[in-house]
Structure 1
């Protein structure tokens, strides 16, 4: 079945998202733009706004009832991509839309997993504090957020802070990957001594490790 061609209002909304123009987005919606219209890759206006971190436009779309959980052809959603961009502002803008924090991306991960891999410290702290996302969720690679922070991180200050935040939120340091290797063993193999120390202390305490770095969001 051939998709209906976009209306002038649909085109105006697409343009508004691209420019980050909240007033124009609001006007396009009033003119009848389809807030769930998908592009050739299955992306909705809200997903495109999230990808570009157009927070003001996203606020308009969420207020108009746009679906924060709509996934595209790559299984990305507006909510899931906040874990990639690390935008705390976008994350909080989407919260009133009722994001499904159990929704997974094409790798089987929830939003905190890619955020941990990328060292998005503020995002990891915020999403753990403000949602009930599963800190020990295991993706299709057999990795938790903690394992991703070590295996795909660089061992620097940002990833140290991510590891500390995950441990403080109750992440289990003893959970191994699919080959039975723990996060601490990976850290030791890679020479990430500060990370290995955090994990070693957490294991000895049976859970939460000490926090590293500054506080706040």
Structure 2
């Protein structure tokens, strides 16, 4: 009887051990499965992210046809201009008249578009078929904001002249653009005594070719403040003082004597 009791207890003990072993194995298997699932999910996530990055990096750039930038400027489409210059586009393309996008923007006094082009590196010195450059035109035609941007952010070539052989200062003075005259003189790069094909300086043109009015008296005063040479003579042999005397511009004559 005692032996039977021992045998029964042994069977029960072995059965309990077997169940415990099965539970441990099951938990271990479940943990391994969860770990594999987590690793797989992370791998899949990484793969997805990598695919997106690759897709984005391989996205082709927009390609614009020749003439697109000129067309965008002519339409005064600032956003389109910005989009085009972000690509490998030729900022200095020229139309049939030799005009660049920047020169066209300067013609139209499109200050914001001109600024975008200047900051992007557009050439302010390229000349069209009548020898206007964006820089020369801005100075001659009173585009003061654009001229200021060119002086600040670019490099005007002072050896490039208009079709009359003049620099930026001469027509600015002759056309009465006092603020442009001030900008150019303050910058100091322009030759104040440059003579064009007729021998005119900025000082001579401000006197000889205009009406002697207050604005021109102020321009003469500004030029003299920066030591414009009063003794220079044009191709006819006359000085600015000679013209003031001939034309009866008494205020200017007093300035020049």
TM range (shorter): 0.7 to 0.9
Which residue does 2:85 correspond to in 1?
29
Which residue does 2:134 correspond to in 1?
78
Matched, 1:55 2:111: yes
Which residue does 1:151 correspond to in 2?
208
Note the C-alpha offset of 1:103.
1.6
Equivalent of 2:236 in 150, 167, 179:
179
Matched, 1:194 2:251: yes
Note the C-alpha offset of 1:54.
1.2
**C-alpha separation between the residues in 1 aligned to 2:145 and 2:155?**
15
Which residue does 1:121 correspond to in 2?
178
Q: Is the CA contact (8 Å cut-off) linking 1:50 and 1:78 kept in structure 2?
A: yes
Aligned length: 194
Which residue does 2:10 correspond to in 1?
none
**C-alpha separation between the residues in 2 aligned to 1:90 and 1:131?**
17
Moved more, 94-103 or 110-119: 94-103
Which residue does 2:123 correspond to in 1?
67
Q: Which has the higher helix share?
A: 2
1:132-151 mapped onto 2 (5 Å cutoff): 132-151=189-208
**C-alpha separation between the residues in 2 aligned to 1:18 and 1:42?**
15
- Residue by residue over 1:114-158, the C-alpha shift from the partner in whole angstroms, topping out at 9 and shown as x without a partner, is 011001111101110023211000001110000111111111011
TM-score by length of 1: 0.84
TM-score by length of 2: 0.71
**C-alpha separation between the residues in 1 aligned to 2:215 and 2:91?**
37
Which residue does 2:73 correspond to in 1?
17
Q: Is the CA contact (8 Å cut-off) linking 1:83 and 1:113 kept in structure 2?
A: no
Note the C-alpha offset of 1:44.
0.7
